[in-house]
Structure 1
Amino acid sequence: MVRPALPALADTGTVLELAYWPGIRSLAPTTLATALRTGDDEARSNGLTNLAAGTWTLGPWAWRDTVRRSRFETGEWFSVHHIQTPTGKSLRLYVNFERPAVRTRIGIDTLDLLVDLVVEPDLSSVRWKDEDEYAHGRRLGFITDQDHRLVEQARERALGLLQGRAGPFAGPWPTWTPDPTWPTPELPDGAAQVAV
């Protein structure tokens, strides 16, 4: 997924926190965007097949429904997201396992590796999400053996940080709402060509 240059809430050089709110546009695989928009499980499965075969294309995707504060750490195989309603009610923390984010001249570039950890806002409970999709991605070869080893290490690391209340889990994530004076970030012209 290619994301536009979003408002950085914090940037230490190794930890980047970004903000998302309804209306922000990014680029995402078109079959995945269709599945998210329609809830069509077959489209989602076809999207994985296309990703594995390298026959996917990027298309526009607009963030909707929630506000999200996201934390990316250099070299880390997961990112952490605080998801809330537009009015500021915390819904969940979401640990997304992905290849390490790469900064580009048009934003950041990531590749979702399908499995996720959903955490209650007060850190009281967790549940794994999309493990069946992850297994399917492994069967298709989309998630290589090397990716799998690194994701397994990242899963252990994320759970260790969570249990130790360290790193992104050291304290409660504050609710956040975008400054109403901020313009909605836009992808630059030609972003789809740059991303390919």
Structure 2
Amino acid sequence: MLLWKPPAAWFSINAFFTRSPCGAHRLRNWYVNFEHPEIRTEVGFDTFDLAVDLVIAPDLTRWRWKDEDEYAHVRRLGIVTDAQHQAVDAARAQVLAMLEERQGPFADAVTWTVWRWNLAWPPPRLPQPGPAR
């Protein structure tokens, strides 16, 4: 998975890769996760998933909403407030515009379809917590 998270955005865009039967890697799909903007902490990042997602074909020609029923349920429960719902609606429109206009990671979609993790790169590590204040 390759994740693209703009600062202060109410979504992240993920590229999910899979291995074909012959062992070649390929882009399985794009996946937009709608979530609270991230908050940097001493040990990493905090966010909150908002249930609704957008699944996009690797070639960007088709897309479908996922879990809209769950999103409606968390809205009814008050887990997603009216103000948050407005932010999600704006984020949905922003992502669809990016997709239609081929902006953000969609601008270089062909390049991303062949992206590979460099095996020489060290595994990512979160920083260790600092001393208590």
Contact conserved, 1:93 with 1:119, CA < 8 A, in 2?
A: yes
Quote the residue 1:75 is aligned against: 8
CA distance in structure 2 between the partners assigned to 1:139 and 1:148 by the alignment: 11
Quote the residue 1:91 is aligned against: 28
The yes-or-no answer on 1:179 pairing with 2:112 is no
Correspondence for 1:109 among 20, 25, 46: 46
Q: Secondary structure at the match of 2:114?
A: coil
Structure 1 unmatched ranges of 5 or more: 1-67, 191-196
Equivalent residue letter for 1:105: E
CA distance in structure 1 between the partners assigned to 2:65 and 2:29 by the alignment: 13
Distance 1:189 1:81, change over 3 A: same
Quote the residue 1:143 is aligned against: 80
Q: Secondary structure at the match of 1:123?
A: coil
CA deviations over 1:8-44 (Å, ceiling 9, x no partner):
xxxxxxxxxxxxxxxxxxxxxxxxxxxxxxxxxxxxx
Structure 2 unmatched ranges of 5 or more: none
Report the RMSD for the aligned CA atoms in angstroms: 1.9
Q: Secondary structure at the match of 2:35?
A: strand
Q: Name the count of aligned residue pairs.
A: 123
TM-score between both structures, scaled by the size of structure 2: 0.82
Q: Secondary structure at the match of 1:114?
A: strand
Quote the residue 1:54 is aligned against: none
Distance 1:183 1:171, change over 3 A: closer
Q: Percent identity?
A: 47
Contact conserved, 1:88 with 1:176, CA < 8 A, in 2?
A: no
Shift of 1:103: 2.4
Following superposition of structure 1 onto structure 2, how do residues 1-196 of structure 1 map, counting pairs within 5 Å? Answer: 68-86=1-19, 87-172=24-109, 173-185=112-124
